[in-house]
Structure 1
Amino acid sequence: MILTVTPNPSLDRTYELPDLVRGTVLRATADRVDPGGKGVNVSRAVAAAGHRTVAVAPMGGPEGALLARLLGEHGIEAAGVPVTGSTRINVTLVEPDSTLTKINATGPELSAAEAEDVLEAVRTRSASADWIACCGSLPRGLPPQWYAELVARSHRAGARIALDTSGAALTAALREGPDVIKPNAQELAEAVGRPLATVGDALKAAEELRERGAGAVLASLGADGQLLVEASGAYFATARVATVRSNVGAGDASLAGFLTAGGQGPGALVSAVAHGAAAVQLAGSLMPTPADLDPSAVALSTDVPRDRPLTEPAP
């Protein structure tokens, strides 16, 4: 069972447009609403793969009630923590060439008591969890050390933690030794304080974060592939993708694939890349099912191509 923690969940509304023209009335060709937030997306991918998952998240207002209902419709056990503020609504606009325009709302401000309630919900639900995936930005009211506290408490209870966050929250949590962290290239560059121009640069940055406390680093390098650096060694994998339709939630699908495949080793990396490649070929923030996956399209190497330039260098 994978338990996910999403401190700032959302309802994700996606509109597909024939064209995006400012200052006009636009008519969508298709639209959908999905439960959102990075941890929620991980739960959706885990459920789509046929595994049990519990989603812990603060939920408030009618938006929170709709979020809980949608989670249930996706086969996810919703462990909603009542909060005073309303759950946020995010909007994604998709153009025919797959260009995305995203509008993310701020979300509610959590009180100290509500923040503690979320931690307590994790404790009471985590006994049977194989992994706890803590994902996304922190809402207003939660200090950067909140994830560090969650990691520390979960480790004392014997749980394994996968952490997907950035900035001060990631830096603070490293000292508590999360078992896996999952930065993208930009987050990796920010964490080490220098730009990344090659895969080798990303490898050195991942090794540095392991020295600072992370048990393993699963780094998403966009179209260039993914890098796994752990105690057993470093692995690099890429996948063929025919058409990119939407990259919303692709990184979350990758983390779900990694954890459901055991959360370590080259086999888990292949699963992560296969899930991410499948997700970008689906509309909106749809999560791949086993029928969408093509592990044979993944190329795995234990010889990391250090000199390969990144398609999109991280500043």
Structure 2
Amino acid sequence: MIYTITVNPSIDYVLQLKNLNTGEVNRTQNDVKLPGGKGINVSRIMKELNIDSTALGFIGGATGSMFEELLSQHNLKTSFTRVKEDTRINVKINATEQNEETEINGAGPVISDDEQENFMNNLNEIGKGDIVVMAGSLCRNLNTNFYLDIAEKIQKQGAEFIIDTTGQALLDTLPLHPLVVKPNHHELADLFKVTFKDEQEIITYARKLLDKGAKHVLVSMAGDGALLVTKDKAYKANAPKGTVINSVGAGDSMIAGFAGTFMETNDPIESFHMGAACGSATAFSQDIAIKEKIDEVYKEISIIEI
């Protein structure tokens, strides 16, 4: 089983209007409420790929109930930990004529010690053969080692893990040998405080993450495609042609395609191919990509060894 952890999920309230005029009353042309969170996006893509997953995280209050109702439309299996405070709401304002998008993100609930303990106990069922995907921001009062604590626990229970985070939080988990890490090329450069001159330098620094313990490194490079780097080889996926509409969930979709395919095939190259297809398909979609779009984009992607 694949488990996704979204510690601080949200209701994403997406508003569309022609122009955003600050300090004035603005009226929307269209609005939609979506269940948000990086791990949730991963589970939704896996559903499109007909791969089972269980979504974990903290939800609470009236907005938590609304979040569950929104999520139920996607028929996902969940096992959330209930908390006292409300699940956050993120507001995303798309001003079409100004070609600008403004985001206002809520901080999320404060999680009590008892609620944290309940969550950790909920991980006891995870074991050998399972993959856990940890993605997204932490609730405001959680210790910065929260993801590390989860990784240590599930590793002792025999499971693999994938972590989608950056900076020191990423580096701290590498000695535990994550199945895959996925920085983009800017995040990878920031990790080592360097500037990349070419693709080969990106590969060189990706291998430093392997030296520190990661099993596979995916590096997304926007319009230049993506890389899969292993200890012995490096592979590149081209960027298919299309209009980028939604870059927000593309990285989550890439992880979902890789993790789900790897669970079924244990083949990192095919997993990379599917991950690249899922990421690009979501980038070309208003919301998380549907299966038909993923299949269409998959055919336009080639994997080459470099």
Q: Could you tell me whether the CA contact under 8 Å between 1:72 and 1:78 is conserved in 2?
A: no
Shift of residue 253, structure 1, vs aligned partner: 0.9
Spell out the pairing of 1:212-251 with structure 2 (5 A cutoff): 212-231=212-231, 233-251=233-251
Find the aligned partners of 2:176 and 2:127 in 1 and give their Cα distance.
20
Q: Could you tell me whether the CA contact under 8 Å between 2:129 and 2:158 is conserved in 1?
A: no
**Equivalent position of 2:181 in the other structure:** 181
The unaligned stretches of length 5 or more in structure 2 are none
Find the aligned partners of 1:2 and 1:174 in 2 and give their Cα distance.
20
Q: Could you tell me whether the CA contact under 8 Å between 1:240 and 1:277 is conserved in 2?
A: yes
Find the aligned partners of 1:152 and 1:80 in 2 and give their Cα distance.
20
The unaligned stretches of length 5 or more in structure 1 are 304-315
Spell out the pairing of 1:253-268 with structure 2 (5 A cutoff): 253-262=253-262, 264-268=267-271
Shift of residue 28, structure 1, vs aligned partner: 2.2
Shift in alpha-carbon separation, 1:139–1:189, aligned structure 2, 3 A: farther
Find the aligned partners of 1:113 and 1:196 in 2 and give their Cα distance.
45
Q: Supply the AA of the counterpart residue of 1:114.
A: E
Residues 1:298 and 2:276 are matched in the alignment: no
Residues 1:144 and 2:147 are matched in the alignment: no
**Equivalent position of 1:47 in the other structure:** 47
Find the aligned partners of 1:276 and 1:95 in 2 and give their Cα distance.
24
Q: Deviations over 1:146-175 (max 9, x none)?
A: 211211211111111111012232122122
Any idea what SS the aligned residue of 2:79 has?
strand
Shift in alpha-carbon separation, 1:197–1:34, aligned structure 2, 3 A: farther
Q: Could you tell me whether the CA contact under 8 Å between 1:228 and 1:236 is conserved in 2?
A: yes
Residues 1:104 and 2:102 are matched in the alignment: no
Q: Deviations over 1:7-46 (max 9, x none)?
A: 1111111122222333333222222111111111101111
**Equivalent position of 1:26 in the other structure:** 26
Spell out the pairing of 1:147-166 with structure 2 (5 A cutoff): 147-166=147-166
Alignment RMSD, CA only?
A: 2.0
Find the aligned partners of 1:16 and 1:82 in 2 and give their Cα distance.
32
Q: Could you tell me whether the CA contact under 8 Å between 1:60 and 1:86 is conserved in 2?
A: yes
Find the aligned partners of 1:249 and 1:159 in 2 and give their Cα distance.
25
TM-score (norm 2): 0.91
**Equivalent position of 2:68 in the other structure:** 68
Q: Could you tell me whether the CA contact under 8 Å between 2:226 and 2:239 is conserved in 1?
A: no
Q: Could you tell me whether the CA contact under 8 Å between 1:8 and 1:138 is conserved in 2?
A: yes
Shift in alpha-carbon separation, 1:6–1:234, aligned structure 2, 3 A: same
Find the aligned partners of 1:16 and 1:241 in 2 and give their Cα distance.
26
Find the aligned partners of 1:23 and 1:113 in 2 and give their Cα distance.
42
Q: Supply the AA of the counterpart residue of 2:279.
A: G
TM-score (norm 1): 0.88
**Equivalent position of 1:193 in the other structure:** 193
Identity percentage of aligned residues: 32
**Equivalent position of 1:279 in the other structure:** 282
Shift in alpha-carbon separation, 1:96–1:241, aligned structure 2, 3 A: farther
Find the aligned partners of 2:119 and 2:198 in 1 and give their Cα distance.
39
Shift of residue 129, structure 1, vs aligned partner: 6.2
Q: Supply the AA of the counterpart residue of 1:148.
A: L
Q: Could you tell me whether the CA contact under 8 Å between 1:239 and 1:274 is conserved in 2?
A: no
Q: Could you tell me whether the CA contact under 8 Å between 1:48 and 1:287 is conserved in 2?
A: no
Any idea what SS the aligned residue of 1:196 has?
coil
Find the aligned partners of 2:48 and 2:302 in 1 and give their Cα distance.
24
Shift in alpha-carbon separation, 1:198–1:87, aligned structure 2, 3 A: farther
**Equivalent position of 2:272 in the other structure:** 269
**Equivalent position of 1:94 in the other structure:** 94
Q: Could you tell me whether the CA contact under 8 Å between 1:134 and 1:164 is conserved in 2?
A: yes
